[in-house]
Structures are given as structure tokens and as C-alpha cells.
Structure 1
């Protein structure tokens, strides 16, 4: 997919509205059942028995201060006793999970996120990785993808050096914006020099890739201000850049109540910001991977896109084979075989559950055959930008046209509008539809009522 994306403002405006981003299907909104310990144990034991590769996500919920735009599960504290009690619960969870796996599955991907993982001191970080290596088969050859999210305000050269020695080789820089006025509006005091310092440190320490995450739609942002931010970001030359749209839901996320809706850029301004950014990044030789992610031509994501070897999940696009996902920590999501679950989102309840001891799963779901089928369809569209009917028919023993008869009218409309090309053999997402591929996927979502526009996140 080396061709430039086509930006059709009228088409985008018509199809841009809130909906699922499909980092998981079914999504956590469908995890409504109390998942039984027997189902969890059987799923983990089967994963270990078959030696299926693993992706581990570790959630560290602590932050030193509250950013007003935040929608994540986090706890504002520098109290080391609270950190230590959480880590003790996390280590208990590691032991419980690994007892089912019996050390048979290799960890091909690892992500340490939060919150602010680097609020852990050097001793805590070393112990965390030591425990992980004790309980799971972590790779030692630096060929797996072990990544960590960094707040440039809460890290320095020594921290990045230690993380590299501990086996991390991919760095995610959390940088909502580089405009001081916008950052002040979301209670985040951060200057561009802090970000540049982390970028320089990562290169000197031979991290394999560095990504920068930017948010648009924040209070006080304009097309002009974001263009300046993007110019600064491009000048730093991160290997990857991700653009995510801020979704204002103060009724659900308490920190957002500090943001007045009147201060936010409107829908048309947000679309203008993304359209201009798309053009600017392609000028700078970034390749559009999908879902707001961009990468340089020699980055592993770009190479995987060209080779048809992308996977899309909770950490966005990754290169390589699909893995079972195990999430450790409060709010973390797991998908092992045909069983999905989410840990309790409340940090204290999560800790108390593990003190019994038992796994901290709150709600979950055992996937149906229909869930699995639709998940494969959605993954192929997101990762290959095309769908082969015969492949789906052979894998699931269906007649595609009959099974998805209720989807045909919406697909024909998208074909007429130029998002996709329908053929007897399958679907191809056209360049004008690449930024809107999640909208194409939504046609196959069994949990979206016809005509519904649920609030999940903005597609663009």
C-alpha cells in the first residue's frame, strides 16, 4: 500500500461519525457475562498446551498529575505504598496466570502501558521484568517486539537506558500536542525539548523504533496550531506517528469535566486538521498504515503492510503473526483462544480480588462461531484492505452472500460512493476509503443496530 491516500472531504464528512475502532471484536461493551474460573483456566491451559505465541500487556495505572483529556484507567499518586501494594497484586496475577500456561508459550510481544509506567523507580522496573521472566517465556534475542509507553516529563536518559537493558526495543512517546497553549488547557506542562531529549536518547540507545502519539480535537487547537505541532514532530523524525481524535465524554471520564465543550474545535475543524495532517505526513514520506497510524518506508509496520503481515489489536497495528493476548493489571483485556475477559477497572477492587487469591476478571465472553467469523472479516479489511469471499467460505463453511445478505445494501452504497469496489470474488477498499475502513467494517458488526450511531470514538 505505497500509493497515497485519497482525501475526499465530502465523502469523509458523510461517513465520519462515532463508532467502534475494532481493536477488539466483540468489544468490551459485549463482555456482559460473569466469566467462570473454569472457562478462564481452560483457555489458558489450552494456550500453553498448544504453545500458541503470546502478547502480554501490563497496565501500570499511576500518574503524577491528572491530564484533563484523559480517559484511561489511572490513579493520581506518588505514594510508594500504593504502588507497592498494586505491584504485589500484579505479581500474584502473574503467578496465577502462568500456573495454567506452565511456561510453554513464547512471548512474542510485550507492552508496558498505563498510566505512566516510568513512575516506577529503577528497582521496581527491574523487579517487574524479573518477575515476568520468571513466570513467562520472554525472548532474549531482541527480535520480539517489547514496547513501553513514555511520558517525556517522567523519564530521563538513565530510565531509557535501563529499559533498553531490560529488553525493551520499541518506544511510544505520549505527546498530546507540542503547543504550550493547548497543553496548558489540558493541565499538561510539557515542553518540546523534553520530547526531543527522549527521541535523542532512544536513538543513542539503539531502540529499534520510536513512535509519537498526538491528539487532535483538544481545547484551543486549530488547523494552524496543529500544523505547527506537526512540523515540529516531523522535524524530530519519529519512525512512527499516530493521530488520535479526542472524544469528549465528561459524563464518563471525570477529568474531562474541566474542559468546556465550547473550547473544543468543531467537527469540520477536526476533519480539516486530519486532512491537512494526512497531506503533510505523506509529503514527509510517511506511509499511511491505517486507523490514524503512519510509519516511515523502512519501518517494520510499512514493510508488514506491503507484505500483508499486519495484525490490528488493542495496541493498534503490529507486524507479525497473531498471538493470544493476556492483559495483566487493572482494566487489562485478554483474549485467549475463544475466551475474552477484562479485569476489574477499579484499582482497589482489582487488588482485593487477587488477595483471595483468584483472577481479577470482571466480565467476559466466550466467543460464538458468528463472533469468530465476523472478527476474521473485520481483521482482513483492516489489515489487508480487501476481503476474499472464497477464503471466508472455506474457513467457516458458509455462502458469503447468503450469510451476509443483510449487509449487501450498505456495501452497494459504499461501492457507489467510492469507498470500496465490490466484485464477485470479494471487496477491495479503495484509496478514498482507507481513512474510513472502520466504517466499512461496521457493516459486518452484529452488535450495531441498523441506523445506530453509538458513541465509542471518532473514526477520523
Structure 2
């Protein structure tokens, strides 16, 4: 999808689309998970994978959640534990080993892994010795296949060049630096001070060491931000020139996330200012040669993510956009989310509950969902819109022979007619195409097919689209 056309975003249009909505890293979204789904359901899904030859042969994706952080970032909505006690990481590794052992007992040793991601929290809270131990645990239980994507989220304040070399030697080939904003005032307001020079030095070193890809996370809508200040950050990002950029809109939900209560709401930019930041970001990245992958991801043309977008091989999972085929995902660690077959599952959200389950020899799964046939159809539709920006009715009907698209989704197609009049989509007898303007609001287009959002009350739990 090209960014060559930058339409005027009228106040009326912004008001209509500045509503809460899911990010669709899954469908149904995690708020639909239920406590009636538990360990027996998860074990049944693992058993089905193990007994199914096609599924058993396909590589897995592996996510490891490390919840610890040394200091609190006020904008953060992640599951984290603030501590300076490194020994807590040692204890955590012992329980991760138990969880890994439970999976090996069900799936067998040596399952192929083509995508590995360490998230948090702060994965680099673990020192080199313990990161080495964790990777050894994973390699003994699974097989990391050549050519896979092995990434780790890095807080620039927790690493130096020597640590980057260690990460590369451990097998990580992709780094994601949490930048958020280079402006000192903004950094102070969110309690995350990290000089730009530090990030630039680490990025230079990472390239020299040989990492395949470097990602930088940015957030717009933070306290003390303005269009002018964010323009300076964008100019610095263009100079930094990471292979990938993830650009997120800050969602201020202090009633759900306690750290955000330390942010003065009066210092937040308005919705119109946020849209201006988004528009100037799109323009800056296009001028710098980045491919707009979709929604919040940008990549240089030679990066695997941009190539996957061009070739129609893009996928979306709990880590965002991905080049890896749509595959089963094992989530390890407190609060981690997994996907096995037609199920989603989530681990206990507190260390106490997570540790207790594993001490008793149980998977720490506390909730999840078994997808219905309708969920599966709608998931394929929503992911096609989110990843390819187009949907062909015939392809859905081939995948689901009992479905006649125009009949099954008659109500949704009628709703899309209004979006077509607004220039968001193009409708034909063959399918749906998202326009350049529509990419600003692709979440809103996908929401049309979300049966769980039929009343406005269901939307209030999500962040706003703009």
C-alpha cells in the first residue's frame, strides 16, 4: 500500500473515527478470553498438535515474557514487576524451566522454532549469565531452525556494546530498541531518560556486530509532546535509520494501568495534535524511503518485513506484524499468551499464581478461548484486511466452502458502503480494497467484521484508533 497520497483529514472524519478499537494482534481479541478455558483445554490442544502430522511438522513460534524492570516508565501498559533485585530473575528461570519441561513432555523434544521473541518487562534485566542459561534451556528443548527470526526487546539503558556482542553470540539476529521519544522534556515526563547519543552508539555497534535487523519503537501522544517536538524526534530517527520502525499511539487508560496515573492528563496532546504527529510521521518515513507495512510498522525496502508485504506474505500475531507463516505460538512466562490450533491461552498474570501452578506440576494457563467456526472465518477476513489491505471473496469461499461471502457478511458489506463513500475502501463484486486514506484507520475498517463489537460498550476497553 503506497503512502503517496496524503488526503486531508477533516475534523468531521477524525471525530467519527477517533473511537476505541482493538489492535487485532488476534481475533477474537484477548478481552474475550474466558476462565472456563483452562489447563485441560490447553493440554488437549497440545495433544491434537502432537498427533496431527501436518501440524506437528510445522515450525513453532516461541514467546518468552520477562516481567522485570529496574525502573517504572509511566506510559507502560505491560505486565511488569519493578525491582532492582537481580536474584528474582534467577528464581524466575527455574520456573521457566518447569514450564518448558511440561511442553516437551507433551510435544516431544526438538520441535522446530522459526520465530523466537523475548519481551517484557525488560528482557535485558537478566544479566549475560542468565540470558545464556535461558537460551541454553530453549536450545536443549527446541530446535532453532536456520533463517528464523530471533529477536529481543532492548532497553538502551541496560546494555553496552559488550552486551550486544553477547546477544548476537547467543543467536539473536534482531534487536528492538525502545526509543519512544528523544525529547528530554518528554523523557522526563514519562520517567525514561536515555540520551539520543546512547541509542545512536548502540545502533552503530549493532550494525557492526552483524544483526540482521534493528527496530526502533516510537510513541506519539505522550505528555509534553507537540508536533514540533515530535518532528525533531522524527528527524533524529531518519538519521538513525533503523531497518524497522514501530510507531504506536499512546493510549491513556489510567483506570486500567496504575503507572499512567502519574501522568498529568493536561500535558497530553489533543486528538487533532496526535493526528498531526501521525501524518507528519507517515510523510517523514516515506521521504526517508520506508515502506508502510501497515498500521504501526514501517521497514526499509530491503528488510524482510517490507519484502513480505510486497509479496503478500505478511502475517499478524501477538507480537504485531511478522514475516513468519501463520503458525502455532507457545507463550512462556507470567501472563504470556499462546495460540495452539484453534485455541488461545494465557498464563497466570501474577508471579504467585504462576509459580504455584508450576510447583504443582500444572501448566499455568488460567484463561483462553476455543474459536468457533464463525471466529475462524472472521479471523481470516480481519487479518487479510490488516495485513494485505485487500480481501477477495472467492479466496474466503475456497477456504470455507460452506460460506457464501456476500450472504454471510451482507450486514457488514452494507456498513462498508458508508466507508466507501468516505473514501476508506473500494468495493467490487470480487472483493474489498483499503484505500490510501483508509490505511490511517485500518483498525476501524477491520472492526466492521468483529461480531463482538456490536454495541459501543464493548469498545470502551480498547485504546483509541487515533
What TM-score do the two structures reach when normalised by structure 1? Answer: 0.97
Aligned residues: 458
Contact 2:3/2:286, CA 8 A, preserved across alignment: no
| Matched residue, 1:435 | 440
In structure 2, what is the Cα distance between the partners aligned to 1:227 and 1:48?
51
- Distance apart, 1:194 and its partner CA: 1.4
| Matched residue, 2:289 | 285
In structure 2, what is the Cα distance between the partners aligned to 1:19 and 1:455?
8
Cα 1:47–1:4 shift into 2, 3 Å: farther
In structure 2, what is the Cα distance between the partners aligned to 1:131 and 1:268?
48
| Matched residue, 2:356 | 352
3-state DSSP of counterpart to 1:458? coil
Provide structure 1 residue ranges, at least 5 long, that are not aligned to the other structure: none
| Matched residue, 2:103 | 97
Q: Deviations along 1:265-297, whole A, 9 cap, x unmatched?
A: 111111111111111111111111111211111
- Distance apart, 1:180 and its partner CA: 0.6
Q: Deviations along 1:401-441, whole A, 9 cap, x unmatched?
A: 21112212211101111110111111011111112111111
Structure 2 matches for 1:91-170, cutoff 5 A?
A: 91-103=97-109, 105-139=111-145, 141=146, 143-170=147-174
Cα 1:36–1:221 shift into 2, 3 Å: closer
Matching of residue 424 in structure 1 with residue 436 in structure 2 = no
| Matched residue, 1:324 | 328
Contact 1:96/1:359, CA 8 A, preserved across alignment: yes
Task: Identify the range of structure 1 (219-228 vs 79-88) with the bigger mean alpha-carbon deviation.
Answer: 79-88
| Matched residue, 1:8 | 8
**RMSD between superposed Cα atoms in Å:** 1.4
In structure 2, what is the Cα distance between the partners aligned to 1:99 and 1:441?
39
In structure 2, what is the Cα distance between the partners aligned to 1:425 and 1:59?
42
- Give 1:179's match in structure 2, choosing from 169, 179, 183: 183
In structure 2, what is the Cα distance between the partners aligned to 1:145 and 1:413?
40
- Give 1:409's match in structure 2, choosing from 414, 420, 423: 414
| Matched residue, 2:88 | 82
In structure 1, what is the Cα distance between the partners aligned to 2:130 and 2:363?
22
Matching of residue 35 in structure 1 with residue 41 in structure 2 = no
Contact 1:47/1:105, CA 8 A, preserved across alignment: no
- Distance apart, 1:315 and its partner CA: 1.3
Task: Identify the range of structure 1 (94-103 vs 23-32) with the bigger mean alpha-carbon deviation.
Answer: 94-103
Contact 1:211/1:240, CA 8 A, preserved across alignment: yes
- Distance apart, 1:104 and its partner CA: 5.4
3-state DSSP of counterpart to 2:368? strand
| Matched residue, 1:366 | 370
Cα 1:104–1:339 shift into 2, 3 Å: farther
Q: Deviations along 1:3-50, whole A, 9 cap, x unmatched?
A: 535343124453232200100111111111322433211211332342
Q: Deviations along 1:214-257, whole A, 9 cap, x unmatched?
A: 11111100000000011011101101111101111111111111
3-state DSSP of counterpart to 1:392? helix
| Matched residue, 1:63 | 69
In structure 2, what is the Cα distance between the partners aligned to 1:72 and 1:5?
35
Contact 2:115/2:324, CA 8 A, preserved across alignment: no
3-state DSSP of counterpart to 2:453? coil
